[in-house]
Amino acid sequence: MYMSMQQKEIFLKHLNEMNHYKQALELMTWDRHTSIPNDGLQDRLEIVGFFTEKLHQLQTSDKMVNCFEQFLSSGDPILQQAAQVCKTTYEQKTNIPKEEYKAYAMLCSESEAVWHQAKQEDNFKLFEPFLEKIVSYKQRFAAYVGYESHIYDALLQEHEPGLEVKEIDEVFADLRPMLIDLLQRIKNSEAVVDASLLRVPFAIEKQKSMSLALLERIGYKLNKGRMDTSAHPYTFGINPNDVRISTYYDENDFTRSVFSAMHEGGHGLYEQNFGTDIQHTLLAEASSMGIHESQSLLWESFISKNKLFWESNQDVLKAYAPQEIQKLDLETFYRSLHQVSPSPIRLEADEVSYPLHIMIRYELEKDLISGKIKVSSIPEAWREKSAAYLGVTPSNDTEGVLQDIHWSSGDFGYFPSYALGYIYAAQLYESIDGALNMEQIYRDQNLHLVKEWLKEHIYQYGKRKTPLQLLKDTTGKGLQTDAYKTFLQDKYKGIYHL
């Protein structure tokens, strides 16, 4: 179909306008997390509400519908995909009746506050009626969205487009016994792996300089970004020329700040390298939550926790780390980064138990949404799964079912992305390893070549490809656990002498 220059200009202008609101909102999010004085918060929230409303109006206007309908089959590949994103957003914003959504949003903000209190007081009963209401809203919303085989698919689409329960069930069922077995063998191992060797006083300023030096080595551009401090590490992608990250510091444990910086740096690299042809089109966003997570985990877990990474970055350690750390030999240093000790708490989890935490949440939230389990049975089911998968039973609900904020704010369908991120990352790392000489790259400090590979195969596309398309085009395969299983088994076999 032929589109006139004028139609094209109108659509581009419309996209640009939405992009401006999004950038302003992201900048305010950065400010809220890193800089705003306490008393400024109230006014700011009002302004955020105002901008969000304006953006919502643009996303759901008749003009918008007119635009995307014209461009859905325009033949212009980028504008056609931008139109598809606008259409999906429009449907997400409008398929739930306005009044119902408003009531739900109010319930969620009340529920978050109740959850905080319930967690503090270890009182699930307090939170239970709120969770019941949220689950029934989510069931209704899923029905509005529609699904083919499983009701949970409707919620999954928002975070992992193209993936369904059937597929996730399959890969998790394949992964679960291997992880449980690996944990057990590590537990039985007599090898000494001691993270406390790294827990020595390390000046925060020096931790920061060390993180910045390493970020530079992985190709994160500081003239297009910056690193701040916030309670939770975060990446704020305002636009590809302004991608900010944040980290947090523990004076007695530099691994927290440095590996958070590597994690957020991985997210940041993705956002700094979206193709110039998709900027301002709404396509300059991650393909999915799981793919975004795969990029942070690739740099954090697969690259910056690799022994060769530290071998080639000895100069950075020498420049900033205290004597106690410098005097550790490379092998001890590397092993200390990988102590495995299962905890009932997800945020304290090691690499091996982390995906099992995700499976507990995924299985329970899926059964909640499909009505297979009642909210009142959740604490007990949580304890059972925790014991069966992790070998630890939370001593109370604060450490169990009440530990995460997600359900209280209505975030269902989001948890699987964390585990999918590992699986995607392993598949990608395997492809990179096949395409490039990784050993040489580590030795020559040439990690920017990895970034270039990712730019060519992943980053530049933004939302133009779905997660499964990206996997197929880069690895020739669909979602598969082999690479991830091999990565974990080989790594921990060496560390724990299994």
Binding site for Zn ion (CB under 5 A): 296
- DSSP, collapsed to helix, strand or coil, labels residue 443 as helix
Burial of 19 from C-beta contacts in 10 A (0-12 / 13-18 / 19+)? middle
- DSSP, collapsed to helix, strand or coil, labels residue 146 as coil
How many Cα atoms occupy the beta-carbon half-sphere of 427 within 13 Å?
25
Contact call for residues 343 and 392 (beta carbons, < 8 A): yes
Block residue for tokens 């550790």: 328
In the DSSP assignment, the letter for residue 302 is I
The smaller minimum CB distance to Zn ion, of residues 287 and 296, is found at: 296
The smaller minimum CB distance to Zn ion, of residues 111 and 304, is found at: 304
Contact call for residues 328 and 193 (beta carbons, < 8 A): no
Least Å distance, CB 263 to Zn ion, is 6
Cα–Cα dist 403/119, whole Å: 7
Burial of 276 from C-beta contacts in 10 A (0-12 / 13-18 / 19+)? exposed
Residue 396: CB partners within 8 Å, gap ≥ 6?
Answer: 122
The smaller minimum CB distance to Zn ion, of residues 169 and 350, is found at: 350
Least Å distance, CB 302 to Zn ion, is 14
Structure tokens at 280: 């301002």
Contact call for residues 377 and 131 (beta carbons, < 8 A): no
Least Å distance, CB 345 to Zn ion, is 17
User: From edge to edge, which strands make up the β-sheet containing 234-239?
Assistant: 225-229, 242-247, 234-239
Q: In this structure, how many other beta carbons lie within 10 angstroms of the beta carbon of residue 350?
A: 16
Q: Which of 91, 110, 167, 264 is catalytic?
A: 264
Least Å distance, CB 315 to Zn ion, is 28
Least Å distance, CB 392 to Zn ion, is 24
Least Å distance, CB 481 to Zn ion, is 20
Least Å distance, CB 425 to Zn ion, is 11
The answer to whether 26 is a known catalytic residue is: no
Cα–Cα dist 64/110, whole Å: 33
Q: Pick the closest to residue 48 from 35, 31, 61, 62 (CA basis).
A: 31
The smaller minimum CB distance to Zn ion, of residues 239 and 296, is found at: 296
Burial of 372 from C-beta contacts in 10 A (0-12 / 13-18 / 19+)? exposed
Cα–Cα dist 351/491, whole Å: 11
Contact call for residues 302 and 101 (beta carbons, < 8 A): no
The residue nearest Zn ion at its CB is: 296
Report the sign of the C-alpha dihedral through residues 369, 371, 372, 376, in that order. positive
Least Å distance, CB 451 to Zn ion, is 17
Least Å distance, CB 24 to Zn ion, is 23
Q: How much of the chain is in helix, strand and coil states, percent to nearest 5?
A: 70, 5, 30
Cα–Cα dist 261/20, whole Å: 27
Block residue for tokens 């400090």: 445
Q: At what angle do helices 482-495 and 416-435 cross, to 10 degrees?
A: 80
Active site residues: 264
